[in-house]
Structure 1
């Protein structure tokens, strides 16, 4: 590690004011701290968000679940209001990760194999920042890229609770990230299918499956579909063709489990 300053604001306004120059926001630190240790980033100041009370907690009203950006995975897992989301959170990393990592930190980092981006995109969630609200469809911009601007903080996430939903993850055992993960939700507006872990462009929707499942919410509706291996991740854990196969398999499992 190297020398840096750290600030611990108690309000969102204080945190936003501290995020100038080379300062970096610090959520649970599950990605940032290893990045600093590896010297892949070297901000001169960290701004810890863990003490900002207004960014913590979970509430539900009018069919929408609102989760503070500094809420840890373990609290989301224990909540149970949105069962598919709680189940997803309960299988992130291990107990140590779940008791430190935050939903806001995960969405801000937008790792291409992370679980929460699939939940947000698959649910049609809204990402709330200190300056605006962003639809999930507009928020995710590619691998590790989001529409967040300099100094913008994810303060909360609003999840509309669907009629049915499920998340299926094929785990990469060393990291506990998704080799491929698929989040499926069914609501009055139709079906959404979000895929993580597969694409070089990060989390994305599988529109062909959404159309088929909106007409018939059954795993059988996927029988005639195939997933292109073009621009899918190719690494020692799986080829693009293998990931393409897993996308369809995980989608079918998610639909079957949701019914």
Structure 2
């Protein structure tokens, strides 16, 4: 299949890109791993295509004390190699296949807002944000809870460009995990759960949050702190938290899985993810080297 006709633009810097977007009805091309198939299947028919791949200053991964900033041209593989955030690393290992990760971009995945994708759930559970820029209007930061509006719908207004995403650092004594079930590795998940667990000074559960993929129109985020046992001795100790997450989701059935099966998966995966995250947090607190690390581990990496 071939894409519909469009005018192609290749701006040389951010100002030119924003000026171009301000005057056209267009789509932004970064990695293209989602956009190109949509064009070929005629699911998208923009009059203009704005290719930002020459904007190399956006191909940056910048860790800091507060968290990690990922530029709009930072590829999945580049971010994974940088090792700057444990949950990002865990999620990126589940994204598609190496050839996709070599070209696809983290910010592009967020803007695509596929409810079955891993990265929107990571941004949501960490309460991160996306920075949007517009010609003549500066920039604005949109928190994850306001960024994902529905299936394949993000809070990017006409003329705006998503220039970066911010993933907050983890508190001390925190662990993360990402669990999902897919028919084949690299396929979209039938259901998935990512978890962040923070332990108190007494190593009891001080905070616990999960985000689910594939069971709602947007990532479903649930704070399960109150439902968690203070010191679960085994995975069964997370049963109340798993039920709380199931109650917060409304999965739909399709040719790949029934709604009931997806709901069952959410419960099982929540227990597994919380247990793994808590064990990782305990290892980090004990200084055994089993911890997930912090968001500031690693180094700034720039492509090109």
TM-score by length of 1: 0.90
The answer for the alignment partner of 2:68 in structure 1 is 65
Does residue 244 of structure 2 align to residue 211 of structure 1? no
Task: Kindly indicate whether the alpha-carbon contact (under 8 Å) linking 1:194 and 1:203 is maintained by their aligned counterparts in 2.
Answer: yes
Task: Kindly indicate whether the alpha-carbon contact (under 8 Å) linking 1:193 and 1:210 is maintained by their aligned counterparts in 2.
Answer: no
Question: Residues of 2 paired with 1:169 and 1:77: CA distance?
Answer: 18
Name the larger-Rg structure: 2
Question: Residues of 1 paired with 2:249 and 2:227: CA distance?
Answer: 21
Question: Residues of 2 paired with 1:43 and 1:87: CA distance?
Answer: 34
**Aligned partner of 1:236 among 240, 243, 255:** 255
**Aligned partner of 2:161 among 149, 153, 158:** 153
Task: Kindly indicate whether the alpha-carbon contact (under 8 Å) linking 1:229 and 1:241 is maintained by their aligned counterparts in 2.
Answer: no
Question: Residues of 1 paired with 2:55 and 2:82: CA distance?
Answer: 20
The answer for the alignment partner of 1:127 in structure 2 is 130
Give 1:215 deviation, angstroms: 5.2
Give 1:175 deviation, angstroms: 6.2
Task: Kindly indicate whether the alpha-carbon contact (under 8 Å) linking 2:10 and 2:51 is maintained by their aligned counterparts in 1.
Answer: yes
Question: Residues of 2 paired with 1:126 and 1:230: CA distance?
Answer: 23
- Greater relative CO, 1 or 2 (CA 8 Å, sep 6+): 2
SS in 2 for 1:212: coil
Deviations 1:149-205 (A, max 9, x none): 112221111111212211112124286112111111135883221111112x22111
The answer for the alignment partner of 1:32 in structure 2 is 35
Task: Kindly indicate whether the alpha-carbon contact (under 8 Å) linking 1:68 and 1:104 is maintained by their aligned counterparts in 2.
Answer: yes
- With over 3 angstroms needed to count, the CA separation of the structure-2 counterparts of 1:63 and 1:194, relative to structure 1, is same
Gaps of 5+ in 2: 134-138, 200-205, 280-304
Task: Kindly indicate whether the alpha-carbon contact (under 8 Å) linking 2:25 and 2:158 is maintained by their aligned counterparts in 1.
Answer: no
Question: Residues of 2 paired with 1:80 and 1:52: CA distance?
Answer: 23
The answer for the alignment partner of 2:294 in structure 1 is none
Question: Residues of 2 paired with 1:216 and 1:108: CA distance?
Answer: 38
Question: Residues of 1 paired with 2:249 and 2:236: CA distance?
Answer: 24
Moved more, 133-142 or 212-221: 212-221
Where do 1:147-226 residues align within 5 Å? 147-162=155-170, 163-173=174-184, 176-187=187-198, 190-199=207-216, 201-207=217-223, 209-213=224-228, 219-224=235-240, 225-226=242-243
Cα RMSD after superposing both structures? 2.2
- With over 3 angstroms needed to count, the CA separation of the structure-2 counterparts of 1:213 and 1:139, relative to structure 1, is farther
Moved more, 51-60 or 4-13: 4-13
Task: Kindly indicate whether the alpha-carbon contact (under 8 Å) linking 2:97 and 2:186 is maintained by their aligned counterparts in 1.
Answer: no
Question: Residues of 2 paired with 1:139 and 1:214: CA distance?
Answer: 32
- With over 3 angstroms needed to count, the CA separation of the structure-2 counterparts of 1:230 and 1:84, relative to structure 1, is closer
Give 1:95 deviation, angstroms: 1.0
Question: Residues of 2 paired with 1:191 and 1:66: CA distance?
Answer: 23
The answer for the alignment partner of 2:13 in structure 1 is 11
Question: Residues of 2 paired with 1:65 and 1:214: CA distance?
Answer: 31
Question: Residues of 1 paired with 2:248 and 2:129: CA distance?
Answer: 29
- With over 3 angstroms needed to count, the CA separation of the structure-2 counterparts of 1:47 and 1:217, relative to structure 1, is farther
SS in 2 for 1:178: coil
Where do 1:98-117 residues align within 5 Å? 98-117=101-120
TM-score by length of 2: 0.78
- With over 3 angstroms needed to count, the CA separation of the structure-2 counterparts of 1:18 and 1:173, relative to structure 1, is same
